[in-house]
């Protein structure tokens, strides 16, 4: 088991390597949640996530001979980048095993930091098995993503940073994948302020730690399904499970819609790009899975390495949810000027058209008619209502798509 002294040692080692990421109070989220909400912005960390902390601390403690042979790790992306970057800084060869469905941006970034990347398995656990086998064959050091004293101690330095800026902290919400991040932060913060509450947050489709704590034993999941790939872990390990049992007050879950909403609001309100795994702590607050009125609450944003295609989808869905983007389906006679008249209505109300699609070849559309789907930006609900009234007045047969 790592100790607080190990975290303090890691803090000194990492001072000249990692960024001291901001801990900022959010006026917007504080108002929405009725508490003093602070964001620990590890999405702005070197390599885009907190993982550089644990990876560097682990490799720093290798023997000279171990460094010569090199290191191996398995990761869904962020640990991979941390290991690759840390290894390159110390002149150590690194080989990284990643699940085959890892977002391309994370694969490219890992290679750019100097690692050899091997794609293996569907989940992190599959990649980890392959990586361990490879490490044994090559006599290389396996750098575990979370079940390691030095890795956990490195992640725990975030707890010291939080306490130094906000010694009056009451609650800290931390994403849970394998449990290394929350294990380190919880150990640090419970040592510095025993009354502080540590709340873990998992994706609903990958709640291995929550189930394990409820059953008082490690419970492997048969399958996982979530957009939060960075915390999609089937099985917590002995070390992180023990730390969670000892120091974590509660674990809650959030679903993918709640995660996407938190990610969208972070981008819109704070201009922060956060990956789904990094947004779960705030998602738990916004969805009222936990509530701490008037308390000083810290939400750890653990990373910002988001898949750009997923980000685009989340932005569009967020805009539609907030009535800033609308899709309207119109069934009309297939004749000249019909589209022109529809666009004229939208133009008169200042709507900005993004896309237009026609469909004649379907049994859902009567012969001689056409279905037109128009995607347009609006200024909000009032503008949409005015457009709908005009459609009704001109007897346009339409349907707003959700």
pLDDT tens digits, one per residue of 283-326: 999 999 999 999 999 999 999 999 888 999 999 999 988 889 99
Is position 223 annotated as part of the catalytic site? Answer: no
Average pLDDT over residues 72-101: 93
* Closest to 351 measured CA to CA, from 330, 374, 334: 374
Query: How far apart are the C-alpha atoms of 64 and 85, rounded to whole Å?
Result: 18
pLDDT band of residue 124 (cuts 50, 70, 90) is confident
Query: How far apart are the C-alpha atoms of 391 and 395, rounded to whole Å?
Result: 6
- In this model, does residue 154 exceed pLDDT 90? yes
Catalytic residue, chosen from 75, 281, 302, 371, is: 302
Same fold, 4-50+149-317 and 53-142: yes
Give me the phi and psi of 45, to 5 degrees please: -70, 155
* Closest to 75 measured CA to CA, from 55, 45, 61: 55
**Weakest-pLDDT range from 35-49, 80-94, 358-372, 382-396:** 358-372
pLDDT band of residue 387 (cuts 50, 70, 90) is very high
Q: How many residues does the chain have?
A: 402
**Would you say the C-alpha torsion 142, 143, 145, 147 has a positive or negative sign?**
positive
Query: How far apart are the C-alpha atoms of 310 and 256, rounded to whole Å?
Result: 12
Cβ 234 vs Cβ 125: under 8 Å = yes
Chain centroid to CA 359: how far? 37
- In this model, does residue 177 exceed pLDDT 90? yes
Average pLDDT over residues 70-92: 94
- Residue pLDDT, tens place only, 354-386: 999 988 887 778 889 999 999 999 988 899 999
Domain range summary for the chain, segments of one domain joined by +: 4-50+149-317, 53-142, 323-401
Q: What percent of the chain has pLDDT over 70?
A: 100
Residues in CB range of 152: below 8 A, 6 or more apart: 2, 54, 146, 180, 183, 184, 187, 239, 240, 243
Burial of 36 (0-12, 13-18, 19+ CB in 10 A): buried
- Angle (CA) 98-301-72 rounded to 5° is 25
Query: How far apart are the C-alpha atoms of 3 and 9, rounded to whole Å?
Result: 10
Is position 302 annotated as part of the catalytic site? Answer: yes
Region of 337 on the Ramachandran plot (φ > 0 left; ψ -120 to 50 alpha; else beta)? left
Its CATH architecture, for the domain 4-50+149-317, is 3-Layer(aba) Sandwich (3.40)
pLDDT band of residue 44 (cuts 50, 70, 90) is very high
Catalytic residue, chosen from 40, 51, 58, 197, is: 51
* Closest to 171 measured CA to CA, from 152, 184, 146, 190: 190
Domain 323-401, CATH = 3.30.70.260
Paired sense of beta strands 197-203 and 325-333, if any = unpaired
- Residue pLDDT, tens place only, 9-36: 999 999 999 999 999 999 999 999 999 9
Average pLDDT over residues 202-211: 97
- In this model, does residue 142 exceed pLDDT 90? yes
Residues in CB range of 385: below 8 A, 6 or more apart: none
User: Domain spanning 53-142: which CATH class is it, in words?
Assistant: alpha beta
- Complete edge-to-edge strand list for the sheet that includes strand 94-98: 116-119, 94-98, 71-74, 141-142
H-assigned helices in 147-301: 149-165, 180-192, 208-215, 238-247, 256-265, 276-286
Q: Is the pTM of this model over 0.85?
A: yes
- In this model, does residue 64 exceed pLDDT 80? yes
């Amino acid at each position: 088991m790592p100790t607080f002294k190990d975290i303090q040692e890691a803090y000194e080692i990492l001072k000249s390597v990692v960024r001291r990421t901001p801990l900022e109070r959010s006026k917007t989220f504080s108002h929405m949640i009725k508490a003093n909400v602070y964001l620990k912005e590890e999405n702005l960390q070197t390599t885009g996530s907190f993982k550089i902390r644990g990876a560097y601390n682990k490799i720093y403690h290798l023997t000279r001979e171990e460094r010569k042979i090199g290191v191996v790790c398995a990761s869904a992306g962020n640990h991979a980048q941390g290991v690759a970057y840390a290894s390159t800084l110390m002149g150590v060869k690194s080989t990284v095993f990643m699940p085959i469905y890892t977002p391309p941006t994370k694969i490219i970034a890992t290679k750019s930091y100097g690692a050899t990347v091997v794609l293996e398995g569907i989940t992190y656990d599959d990649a980890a098995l392959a990586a361990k086998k490879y490490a044994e064959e090559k006599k290389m050091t396996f750098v575990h993503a979370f079940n390691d004293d030095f890795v956990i101690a490195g992640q725990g330095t975030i707890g010291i940073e939080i306490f130094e800026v906000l010694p009056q902290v009451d609650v800290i919400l931390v994403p849970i994948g394998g449990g290394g991040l929350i294990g380190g932060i919880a150990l640090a913060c419970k040592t510095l302020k025993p009354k502080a509450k540590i709340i873990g947050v998992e994706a609903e489709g990958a709640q291995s730690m929550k189930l394990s704590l409820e059953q008082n034993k490690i419970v492997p999941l048969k399958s996982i399904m979530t957009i939060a790939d960075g915390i999609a872990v089937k099985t917590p390990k002995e070390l992180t499970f023990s730390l969670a049992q000892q120091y974590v007050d509660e674990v809650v879950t959030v679903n993918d819609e709640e995660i996407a909403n938190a990610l969208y609001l972070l981008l819109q309100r704070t201009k922060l790009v956060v990956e789904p795994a990094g947004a779960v702590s705030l998602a738990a607050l916004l969805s009222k899975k936990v509530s701490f009125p008037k308390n000083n609450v810290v939400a750890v944003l653990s990373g910002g390495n988001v898949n750009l295609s997923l980000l685009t989808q989340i932005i569009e869905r967020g805009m539609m949810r907030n009535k800033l983007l609308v899709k309207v389906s119109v069934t009309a006679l297939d004749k000249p000027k019909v589209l022109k008249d529809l666009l004229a209505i939208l133009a008169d109300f200042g709507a900005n058209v993004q896309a237009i699609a026609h469909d004649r070849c379907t049994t859902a559309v009567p012969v001689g008619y056409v279905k037109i789907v128009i995607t347009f930006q609006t200024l909000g609900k009032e503008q949409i209502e005015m457009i709908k009234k005009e459609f009704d007045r001109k007897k346009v047969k339409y349907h707003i798509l959700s």
